[in-house]
A and B are shown apart, each in its own frame.
Chain A
Amino acid sequence: MLGPKISVIIPIYNVESYLARCLDSCLKQTLYDIEIICVDDGSTDRSAGVLELYAQADSRIRPIRLENSGVSAARNAGLRAARGQWVMFLDADDYLEDVACERVWREAQEGPTDIIVFGAYLFPQAPEPDAWYGYVFRIYTHRVNGFEPKVLFDTPCAKPFIWHKAFSAELLKRAQVWFDEHIGLGEDLTFLMEIFPQAQYFAFIPDQLYHYRWFRPNSAMQQAKRDNHARLRKHVAVAEGITRYWQSQGWLEKYKGPYVNWVVDFLFADVQKLDLTDAEREDLLGEIRKLCDEYHLAEGYRALDAHHRRLWKKTIPRGASV
């Protein structure tokens, strides 16, 4: 059985005002041979009605219904249902350029490819998007054959978003990586950290194929940003999950230096810099020290540069003696 060229997976939860535009952009794709898997995660507004309407009009839209169980569960259900040769993720409040699927498919024909990373537009432009987005979407055209840590750690566009990437179904099948349904934040980062080392061929293209709604009043991400302590605790939990997976795959031994470097970037800097009460900071530092002890991350200390060593010493004074 030959699958469609591309499966687009859309998790849907209470997005009635954005969904139509999103689905329109999918149906307008210049590439016809795609399937659009819409996973309705138990919406309580009229999203389900809109979805129903579109599904009746075009058989390429495949609706799936779930009890409300989170975006990760929805994406996993989409992944299980996907039959395409490539898989793309699309959020229901965003939309695609008309040529997105065609461009991805063309790139996939250019040679053996496991993961394609493409550029994106940010909207709305007011309030002004955070500066670091510009850093993430600075993509220059290149290909990498064979995984090396710098693809994951030194290429800014590799993390933390999955929606400006396309994955070959073959890779997904081989890697068997799923979204963690128990963490409320950073499930896409975990997914990327787990799947990138298993891929071999990476293609980076600067074409902006995706329109990303970076700001939405009252969205999950906006709310998460307010409570620094809770957010950082979740960050530690995410790092813990990733480290456990990396250890089980043997990558922690293999890429220890770059990995510890990333952990320092991801956790230590924020704990030092952000606005926290002393009790909260102590609590977080305790968590981080526990993580480092458990996985012997101090062994990677020697590979750090001066800046990261300073951060490390500040966070884990005992570690300085390693």
Chain B
Amino acid sequence: MSESVRVSVVMPSLNVAPYIRQCVESVLGQTLRDIEIICVDAGSTDGTLEILEEYARGDSRISIIRSDRKSYGYQMNLGFDAAKGEYLGILETDDYAEPEMFERLYRAASAEKLDVVKAGFYFYYSREERNEPCPIASDVQASRVFCPLTDFTSPLEQVEFFNIKPSIWSAIYRRDFIREAGIRFHETPGASFQDTSFTFQVWAQAKRVRLMTDCFVHYRQDNEASSVNSPGKVYCVCDEYEEIQRFLDRRPELKGRLEPVMCRLKYDTYMWNYDRLSDELKPAFAQRMAEEYTRDMQDGKCEQALYPWYKWNTLHVIMKTPDEFVRWRAAEKAGVPYEINMFPGESFPHKLKRKLIGGYHCLKDHGVIYTWNNLMEKVRRRAL
């Protein structure tokens, strides 16, 4: 059998009894028949395992691995190590796939001996049975096979590519590529955004990648147990970026090229993480962002050309006064105008001196009319 397995589908599961049947059946119903299904269960207690065993008795393509650790990364590594297929696929057990998914992905991949083929997905709201397509590429992007490290001539476009949703389960990966490149999931406890470092390592080392415009996986949005919905995991994303940093430290030839990209991605991830935290946790996380970015800036890892100006400015506010950033962001979310004070606790004579010097430079550079208008504008906004 191992000779003819085209795709190994790894399915990590933990307490997903309400969703598992839909998921497994969507894989069993794939038009591509030569697949193996590797279920890696981390000790479910709600009957998930029993349902899986029931399916395994009925279909020899299913095998079950019992993971002794509750770690998404560890489960995935177990599954990837056991896989015999030419390509590796992933399906999370609260999602489900379109029947032609693996056939279409496999055909595209094997025809051109690609390292990775990635497609789009649907946001799936099960309560109202709504599917919202989320394509990841235009047909222009999908029309070529490229190497993410070298084939982008515009840095902005490269960042956007690395920034495509890290839906690792809407793609298939050549097994030999994953093994030769030594790509492993980060084995942190639970499900804590281990896809971040995995995606980065894949894009950094893949030589032949193709994107597809179609959508195949239905990505469930209303599972309350999902890691995306848990505000508790404050610093998981930081662990992921530390893992990426360790990866780059091992690979100096990639480090020089990709460190600025990593810092740019980190900004978006951290801001996303910041916004989903509860209010009590925000100041501490802002502090952490400030420390990390101050270090990154000093090391010269941040490249201004990769940031829109407002992100670059925000970065400086965070670095200089994290507390002010917290207040500013809260006001912004509430839709209230807010004047950022970059000099908290400044004495009046000091401030006067700063304003006079600033005013003098404004006069010199922009002339009387602009300075006057600017002054009046600030008075009107009470921003002096």
Question: Per a CB cutoff under 8 Å, which of B138, B139, B144, B310 touches A5?
Answer: B138
Chain B window 60-86, contacts with chain A (Cβ cutoff 8 Å), 1 for yes, 0 for no: 000000000000000000000000000
The one of B135, B140, B153, B308 in contact with A60, judged by C-beta atoms closer than 8 angstroms, is B140
Please judge, given known A-B contacts A1-B135, A102-B156, whether A33 and B213 are in contact too, CB under 8 Å.
no
Known contacts: A2-B136, A2-B213, A32-B140. The answer to whether A111 contacts B310 by CB under 8 A is yes
A110 beta carbon closer than 8 Å to chain B: yes
Q: Is B137 an interface residue (CB 8 A)?
A: yes
**Interface membership of chain B positions 137-152, coded 1 if the CB is closer than 8 angstroms to chain A and 0 otherwise:** 1111101100000011
- In this assembly, does B347 line the interface, its C-beta being within 8 Å of a C-beta of chain A? no
- The CA-CA distance from A178 to B143 in the complex, in Å, is 30
**Residues 113-156 of B at the A interface (beta carbon under 8 Å):** 120, 135-141, 143-144, 151-154, 156
A150 at interface by CB-CB < 8 Å? no
B348 within 8 A of A: no
Q: Are A31 and B140 in contact (CB under 8 A)?
A: no
Most A CB within 10 A of own CB, among B138, B152, B308: B138
Decide yes or no whether A56 CB sits under 8 A from chain B: no
Whole-angstrom distance between the Cβ of A74 and the nearest chain B Cβ: 22
Q: Smallest Cβ distance from A203 to chain B, in angstroms? A: 12
A201 within 8 A of B: no
Nearest Cβ on chain A to B152's Cβ, whole angstroms: 7
Cβ of B59 within 8 Å of any chain A Cβ, yes or no, is no
Instruction: Compute how far the CA of A162 lies from the CA of B276 in the bound complex, rounded to whole angstroms.
Output: 43
Q: A2-B213, A32-B152, A102-B156 are in contact. Are A109 and B308 (CB under 8 A)?
A: yes
Residue contact A4 to B138, C-beta cutoff 8 Å: yes
- Candidates A2, A35, A83, A111; contact of B137 at CB < 8 Å: A2
With A1-B135, A1-B213, A2-B213 given, is the CB distance from A109 to B156 under 8 Å? yes
Q: Give the Cβ gap from A104 to chain B, nearest Cβ, in Å.
A: 11
Q: For A34, what are the chain B residues with a Cβ–Cβ distance below 8 Å?
A: 140
Given A2-B213, A110-B309, A30-B153 contact (CB < 8 Å): yes
B236, chain A: closest CB distance, angstroms: 28
Contact of B139 among A4, A106, A109, A110 (CB under 8 A): A4
Complex CA gap A44/B151 in Å reads 38
Contact partner of B138 among A3, A106, A109, A111, CB < 8 A?
A3
B251 to chain A, nearest CB (A): 25
Enumerate A200-254 residues with CB–CB distance to B below 8 Å. none
Residue of B nearest to A6 (CB): B140
Q: From residue A236, how far is it (CB to closest CB) to chain B in Å?
A: 38
Contact, CB under 8 Å: A59 / B138: no
Query: Are B308 and A32 in contact, CB atoms less than 8 angstroms apart?
Result: no
**Taking the nearest CB of chain A, how far is it from the CB of B134, in angstroms?**
9
The contact size tier of chain A is 20 to 34
Interface residue range, chain B: 20 to 34
A33 adjacent to B156 (CB under 8 Å) = no
Q: Indicate if A105 sits at the interface (CB-CB under 8 A).
A: yes
User: CA of A34 to CA of B157 in the docked complex: distance in angstroms?
Assistant: 11
The chain A residue with its CB closest to the CB of B306 is: A106
Question: Whole-angstrom distance between the alpha carbons of A5 and B308 in the complex?
Answer: 17
Across the interface, do B136 and A30 meet the contact criterion of CB distance under 8 Å? no
Knowing A4-B140, A4-B141, A110-B308 touch, does A32 contact B135 (C-beta < 8 A)?
no
Which residues of A sit under 8 angstroms from B152, Cβ to Cβ? 32
The answer on a CB contact under 8 Å between B156 and A32 is no
CB of A46 to closest CB in B, whole Å: 27
Q: Is the CB of A32 within 8 A of B154?
A: yes
Q: Which residues does chain B contribute within 8 Å of A111, judged by CB atoms?
A: 308, 310
- Are A59 and B143 within 8 A (Cβ)? yes
Report the minimal beta-carbon distance from A97 to chain B, rounded to whole angstroms: 13
Measured between C-beta atoms, what is the minimum distance from A106 to chain B in Å? 6
C-alpha gap A232/B141 in the complex (Å): 47
Find chain B residues with CB under 8 A from A60 CB.
Answer: 140, 143
Which of the residues B135, B138, B310 comes within 8 Å of A33, measured between beta carbons? B138
In the assembled complex, the CB of B203 is this many whole angstroms from the nearest CB of chain A, namely 16
Residue of B nearest to A31 (CB): B154
Which chain B residue lies CB-closest to A85?
A: B138
A32-B141, A32-B152, A110-B309 as given contacts; A102 in contact with B157, CB under 8 Å: yes
- CB neighbours (8 Å) of A2 from chain B are 120, 135-138, 213
Residue numbers in B under 8 Å from A35 (CB-CB): 140
Counting chain A CB atoms within 10 Å of each CB, which of B135, B136, B156, B309 scores highest? Answer: B156
Mark out the residues of chain A between 1 and 38 whose CB falls within 8 Å of any chain B CB in the assembled complex: 1-5, 30-35
A110 CB to closest chain B CB (Å) equals 5
Question: How many angstroms from the CA of A31 to the CA of B161 in the assembled complex?
Answer: 12
- In the complex, the chain B residue whose C-beta lies closest to that of A2 is B135
Q: Are A30 and B213 in contact (CB under 8 A)?
A: no
Q: Within the assembled complex, what's the spacing in Å between the Cα atoms of A21 and B269?
A: 42
A105 to B159, CA, bound (A): 13
Within 8 A of A (CB), among B193-250: 213
- Using Cβ atoms and an 8 Å threshold, which residues of chain A touch B120? 2
Contacts of B136 in A (CB 8 A): 2
CB-CB under 8 A for A30 and B154, given A110-B308, A111-B310: yes
Smallest beta-carbon distance A25→chain B, Å: 14
Q: Write the chain A residue with the least CB distance to B141.
A: A33
For B151, list chain A residues within 8 Å (CB): 32
> Min CB distance, A285 to chain B, in Å?
40
A109-B256 Cα distance, complex, nearest whole Å: 26
Identify the interface centre among B141, B143, B152, B154: most chain A CB within 10 Å of its CB.
Answer: B154
Least CB distance, B313 to chain A, in whole angstroms: 11
Cα A30 to Cα B309 in complex, Å, equals: 21
Residues in A with CB closer than 8 Å to B308 are 106, 109-111
Q: Which residues of B contact A (CB under 8 A)?
A: 120, 135-141, 143-144, 151-154, 156-157, 213, 308-310
Known: A32-B151, A33-B157. 13 other contacts (CB 8 A): A1-B135, A2-B138, A3-B138, A31-B154, A32-B144, A33-B140, A35-B140, A60-B143, A83-B138, A102-B156, A102-B157, A106-B156, A109-B156
7 contacts between A and B (CB under 8 A): A2-B120, A4-B140, A4-B141, A32-B141, A32-B154, A110-B308, A111-B308
Pick the 5 closest A-B CB pairs, nearest first: A30-B154, A30-B153, A4-B140, A4-B138, A2-B135
